[in-house]
Amino acid sequence: MTETTTTPLHAAYDSKIEGNVIFTRVDAAINWMRKNSLWPMPMGLACCAIELMATASSRFDISRFGMEVMRFSPRQSDVLIVSGTVTYKMALAVKRIWDQMPEPKWCVAMGACASSGGMYRSYAVLQGIDRLIPVDVYISGCPPRPEALIEGLMKLQRKIETEESTVAQKQQFFDELPS
Amino acid sequence: MSARADVETLRGKFADAVKETVEFRGEHTLVVALSALHEVLAECRNALNYEMLLDVSSLDHFGEDPRFEVVYEMASLDDKRHLRIRAAVSEDEEAPTASDLWQAADWHEREVYDMMGIRFSGHPNLTRILMWEGYPFYPLRKDFPLAGRPSEMPDVAFTGVAPLEGGPFVTSAGAEDTVRREPRSKAFD
């Protein structure tokens, strides 16, 4: 007769845990979580929005990268994808939506119009959304293919990896302490 | 009934107001005096049964007097007759509104006012439709630069000047060869 159940000799030591522990920095862990769960705010203003919709749907499927949770409320999202022509009439509305998004937040200028005004060198069009809000990634194209948008968002992921979020937060915490 | 017969009817009825009639490739145009414009439009709407107003547009003959022209495009509901009516408007004149004849004229006339600055007397709500209330320019006028002019309305909107990099580039239609027809920059004031 062989005994099938054995009790460990040392209760404090579990050999299974040994392989499951990783050492990392808090920044790296937080960035890893953030970059793999981007919640985009789709700011669809022109034909780029059609490509944005194609990107989100099944053929291109950005949920492979954890970016599929499009929220139509700025308060629930952290990536503003400005896709399309920003007219002066719309510009302050885009700014207002950006201001309503909670930190940390990033902005992607999708396509020629959002990046630089594109072919609209005219009285009615803002010559690039970076004149109003800070932009992290510019995507070229008129409109860009969904692959280009995915590439841009992956570039944004690379950028998020390098951020020092807790260091900055700590600095702000110390700055705000009454001395 | 045809558009040609309607032109003759209108010419007979408003003999001293009709300045010119044009027929070009089956399109009929009537040029009338501004003072009779509303009467002519009312006749078209009520007696000649042009039920649809397709468009109201405007022209800027910069440097001439009268400077502007308003253009009304209308059609009968069965789409068999099309008619165009033009009237010259100088800078200090107001055109009579057609929104009492066709509801469609309401927004079209607002657009003309917004883009060209022609005012319409009797219009129920003559406000800007594409640009915002308080924007100081009329962007489709010939003396307004394509690049735009800076303007600022705090909390509403602002505009800047677009970089044209030597443009605007304009084609010369009807030039001898393709090299000369290509878009080139031209000097504008």
Q: How many CA atoms lie within 13 A of A132 on its CB side?
A: 29
Sheet of B27-32: strand order equals B18-24, B27-32, B82-89, B68-75, B52-60
* CATH code, domain with A130: 3.40.50.12280
pLDDT, tens digit (0-9, with 9 covering 90-100), for B125-144:
999 999 988 889 999 998 88
Question: Is B149 close to A88, i.e. CB distance below 8 A?
Answer: no
What CATH number does the domain located at B3-144 have? 3.30.460.80
Nearest by CB: A123 against B159, B163, B167: B159
Our CA-based measurement puts residue B156 at a distance from the nearest CA of chain A, in whole angstroms, of: 7
Question: Is B158 close to A131, i.e. CB distance below 8 A?
Answer: no
The pLDDT, as a whole number, for residue A4 is 65
Instruction: Give the ipTM.
Output: 0.76
Helix (H, G, I), strand (E, B) or coil at A94: helix
Helices marked H in B17-165 — which ranges? 37-46, 105-116
Determine the Cα–Cα distance for residues B72 and B150; give it in Å rounded to an integer. 32
Q: Give the pLDDT mean for B177-184.
A: 84
Shortest CA distance to B43 belongs to which of B76, B17, B9, B89?
A: B9
Residue spans per domain, chain B: 3-144, 146-189
pLDDT, tens digit (0-9, with 9 covering 90-100), for B82-119:
999 999 999 999 999 999 999 999 999 999 999 999 99
Is A148 or B170 the better-scoring residue by pLDDT? A148
CB B114 within 8 A of CB B138: yes
CA dihedral sign of residues A91, A92, A98, A100: negative
Please tell me the total count of domains within chain A. Answer: 1
Helix (H, G, I), strand (E, B) or coil at A92: helix
CB A152 within 8 A of CB B167: no
- Is A99 domain-assigned? yes
- Is A52 domain-assigned? yes
Nearest by CB: B139 against A92, A121, A123: A123
- Residue A134: give the domain boundaries: 41-159
Chain B residues closer than 8 Å to A89 by CB: 130-132, 157
CB A125 within 8 A of CB A88: yes
- Is A61 domain-assigned? yes
Our CA-based measurement puts residue A115 at a distance from the nearest CA of chain B, in whole angstroms, of: 14
Our CA-based measurement puts residue B137 at a distance from the nearest CA of chain A, in whole angstroms, of: 10
Q: Is the pTM of this model over 0.95?
A: no
CB B65 within 8 A of CB B90: yes
Helix (H, G, I), strand (E, B) or coil at B40: helix
pLDDT, tens digit (0-9, with 9 covering 90-100), for A63-108:
999 888 998 999 999 999 999 999 999 999 999 999 999 988 999 9
